[in-house]
Amino acid sequence: MANICLYFELHQPLRLAPVPLTSLGALIESYFSQAERDDNKEIFSKVAKKSYYPMLQLLLKLLRKEPTFTFALSLSGVFLEQAEAYEPRVLKLLQQLVKTGRVELLAETYYHSLASLYSTTEFVAQVTKHEQLLKQLFGVQPTVFRNTELIYSNAIAEQVRALGYRGMLTEAVPRYLDSRPPTQVYHSSTKSRLPLLLKQAQLSDDIAFRFSDKSWRWHPLSVAQYLQWFESYGPNECVNLFMDFETFGEHQWEDTGIFEFFSKFVSDAIRAKKHAFITPSVALRAKSAGEYDVPDPISWADVDRDLTAWTGNALQQDTLRLLYSFEQAVQEKNDEQLLADWRFLQTSDHFYYMCTKWAADGDVHAYFSPYNSPYEAYRQYAVVLAHLRERLE
């Protein structure tokens, strides 16, 4: 009987408002909304209607129906701020889920940033701020860490262990995992030997990406077929299904049958008595199957599972270098609004929109971007960054 560890990420970025180049030298009330229109509110409410409300309600129903059902959520601070401001009922549903005692909340960077790659001090500050928010809203102290986009390396493992976390989630990348299965617990190639859970990409992506693909061999995917693929795993293995929460209703629309599929998957898996749902903190108690040596950072994005979705071209590299070079000056200003603006500009999505990849990876980037091209994303971000620098000077 294999264990199943379900984890969902809830994040929505604050997208930039169309700040004109002529605004340089002038006072701007917000980089993220206009007085007459808040695009972020419209987008959040739209996604809430399609995804957050129906899926949160389904999860609550399943928790009440299935006493052994359990899973984990990671909620970015940026998401929680918007939920509280735009759709407070989303926050109330999340609080109801957590009160059941069977939903584990994971720690992450408050601003869904790349700080773990650029600034240890800022990384610690954001993780601490995120911890405080979870305590305030849910009364929870997280023990397991999930970095932005599952970004991980040996060096990041040491940062996470220094913060006191018992384990971490990341991607199973073949060039580092070799032929070993992703269904075992591993530990970091560091002195601290941080326990690690690795995503089972094939089964996760069958739902997250391939579910509605009519050209896919297994479309339409049945629950019976999906569960049959779990039969190859034994009692000492854990199948880690990690995906974006928006998979349900937003990426895979309601008319694909995604909600019905998920509900039946959970119930049938439990009824068959061949699998047990467990949380990451429980899964990490298993004995390590060996070292996972990752000298260069990995992520769960794109074919290569590396950082090129955010750092692969000169546009991204230039803006990231400049943004993080402001850290000391921002801190010295002792201006809460300036600090908040600088941190919201760290959200990884801004750099994801600047990605110039093509083929399948490029299609995914284009789908998520609010811009017509990565160059327009860079132009808009560069204007805001120039305005921020003016405020610092």
Contacts (Cβ under 8 Å, ≥6 apart) of 239: 2, 3, 4, 5, 183, 200, 203, 230, 233
- pLDDT, tens digit, for every residue of 92-132? 999 999 999 999 999 999 999 999 999 999 999 999 999 99
| pLDDT of 11 strictly over 80 | yes
CB atoms within 10 A of CB 89: 12
Vertex 354: Cα angle to 47 and 346 (nearest 5): 70
DSSP 8-31: EEE----PPP---GGGTTS--S-S
Q: How far apart are CA 307 and CA 299, in angstroms?
A: 6
Q: Are 145 and 106 in contact (CB under 8 A)?
A: yes
Nearest-10 Cα torsion for 34, 40, 41, 46: 140
Q: Considering only CA atoms, which of 7, 82, 98 is closest in space to residue 47?
A: 82
| pLDDT of 22 strictly over 80 | no
Catalytic residue (one of 149, 171, 237, 250): 149
Pairwise pLDDT comparison (35 vs 10), residue with the higher score: 10
pLDDT at 33: 79
Known catalytic residue at 149: yes
| pLDDT of 282 strictly over 50 | yes
Compute the average pLDDT of residues 180-204.
97
Model-level pTM greater than 0.75? yes
| pLDDT of 133 strictly over 70 | yes
Q: Considering only CA atoms, which of 291, 316, 361, 304 is closest in space to residue 117?
A: 316
